[in-house]
Structure 1
């Protein structure tokens, strides 16, 4: 790591701040106060985490979040449609959600721990990409099983196949259960090996880092001081 000059700032920020749709306006105001207006606001819309509300309500929630200032929308797919093999139903709903997002970036959560099989994970990945997803995401973080390497391998290979056939690059986000910096390195290696260096950039790869952030802070503390911090020394702990 290069020595830091006095007054020098590293251009490192979180990929986005993720909040419920009802808190987007509050988030916009809070970030503005601290000079963080450049940080994207993502909203978990569409009845997160289960999506078990009428489609009309889910679409309206997306529109409200975008109107309040969200530049990214995280949607959840209809798991009942996926489990029953109604892939046209999944496609039609995701397509309508893509339209409701307007210019906002759309991440589609597959909730892979509830899809029943790797075949369903693969089909859901392709259907959501065809419907206009900018990202496909493993999980809400609320399922019993969240981001796992075997599921991720299926998803990223679906991304690779879709790119080879269409020329369109779709991003990938694992979320849920990623708690250590070592875990993050494993996910980075997966992306590099399967999709290449470009997919290591934030416009094509994100990690759900709510639990991970504390360990990253611990590792930086160790790098600087040579020892690991006690819990009371870390703000996020």
Structure 2
């Protein structure tokens, strides 16, 4: 599909030539999938799977090395009273905390993810964004969560956004020839329309995104079932067209086990079991883990222990 990105005009024609989104149909299907009843052993499996897919996140100005180390300890052993509890997929921090997280997670198998490219607004010059990315990778980040320039996208400067994603992808490369995985954040709540979310999905995947991600968690509207379903359909169609598989990460606003399981049903029904692994699906969350742990304890003991029995992040 190289000709699609040969010029701004060609990319515009392609993105605006994508089928328009039937909003009523999309929202109706998302709502229908959310009504599936998951119980007993299937629920237990889904809870453990959801835990293993979490990017446990702290992205606050008040983050300290001690807070990051505590979060890493929780990610490695979410429930110290039950060693069968899965580890989370990654700990997500700001670039200046990558080295601390990397040291705390050494040998655990839990990845370090770092936001970059002037997160969360993305309002910085490209050299600054690339330096931000390179610093995080040099510090040991396994994954980079970048934000697109929403202003450029909404102004229709699609090739500019495409070239920026490509440049950040190149900045993810390491000296040994490997590379950090790149997750591209759209901030769906600011893209305004479903058609824009579909266009952003294809644009990011054409530019080499390893994952497409709904949001930063820093705006009023973050992950929603219809928006995530639309992105799942986009990665399905992209693989059918190119043979390339891309992951999806809803982030922000997913706080309960019930919500997480709805998303897993959506993945299974849209993409199949192949995507039901941390390699291809993640939850960006901070509070979700505690609810999953409480529901897990209830299933194993028959008692609801409450929030006092899980650590406070």
Task: Report if TM-score (shorter chain) is over 0.5.
Answer: yes
- CA deviation map 1:150-185 (0-9, x unaligned): 111211111111100000000001011101111111
Q: Which residue in 1 is equivalent to 2:182?
A: 106
- CA deviation map 1:185-212 (0-9, x unaligned): 1000111111111011111111113121
Once residues 127 and 21 of structure 1 are traced to their aligned partners in structure 2, the CA distance between those partners, rounded to angstroms, is 25
Aligned counterpart for 2:88 among listed residues 3, 11, 14: 14
Is 1:217 equivalent to 2:290 in the alignment?
no
Q: Which residue in 1 is equivalent to 2:151?
A: 80
Cα distance, 1:9 vs structure 2: 5.3
Once residues 215 and 283 of structure 2 are traced to their aligned partners in structure 1, the CA distance between those partners, rounded to angstroms, is 11
Q: Which residue in 1 is equivalent to 2:4?
A: none
Aligned counterpart for 1:65 among listed residues 132, 136, 151: 136
Is 1:27 equivalent to 2:98 in the alignment?
no
Q: Which residue in 1 is equivalent to 2:233?
A: 157
Aligned counterpart for 1:49 among listed residues 103, 120, 137: 120
Q: Work out whether residues 213 and 236 of structure 1, in 8 Å CA contact, stay in contact via their aligned partners in 2.
A: no
Q: Work out whether residues 83 and 116 of structure 1, in 8 Å CA contact, stay in contact via their aligned partners in 2.
A: no
Once residues 18 and 45 of structure 1 are traced to their aligned partners in structure 2, the CA distance between those partners, rounded to angstroms, is 11
* Structure 1 spans left out of the alignment, 5+ residues: 3-7
Could you say what the CA RMSD is over the residues aligned between the two structures, in angstroms? 1.7
Is 1:141 equivalent to 2:217 in the alignment?
yes
Once residues 230 and 160 of structure 1 are traced to their aligned partners in structure 2, the CA distance between those partners, rounded to angstroms, is 39
Q: Which residue in 1 is equivalent to 2:203?
A: 127
Q: Which has the higher contact order (CA 8 A, sep 6+)?
A: 2
Once residues 257 and 226 of structure 2 are traced to their aligned partners in structure 1, the CA distance between those partners, rounded to angstroms, is 19
Once residues 10 and 225 of structure 1 are traced to their aligned partners in structure 2, the CA distance between those partners, rounded to angstroms, is 14
Aligned counterpart for 2:165 among listed residues 94, 97, 103: 94
Q: Work out whether residues 290 and 307 of structure 2, in 8 Å CA contact, stay in contact via their aligned partners in 1.
A: no
Once residues 227 and 120 of structure 1 are traced to their aligned partners in structure 2, the CA distance between those partners, rounded to angstroms, is 45
Q: Work out whether residues 81 and 89 of structure 1, in 8 Å CA contact, stay in contact via their aligned partners in 2.
A: yes
* Structure 2 spans left out of the alignment, 5+ residues: 1-40, 45-81, 174-178
Q: TM-score, normalised by structure 2?
A: 0.70
SS in structure 1 at match of 2:284: coil
Aligned counterpart for 1:183 among listed residues 259, 279, 286: 259
SS in structure 2 at match of 1:192: helix
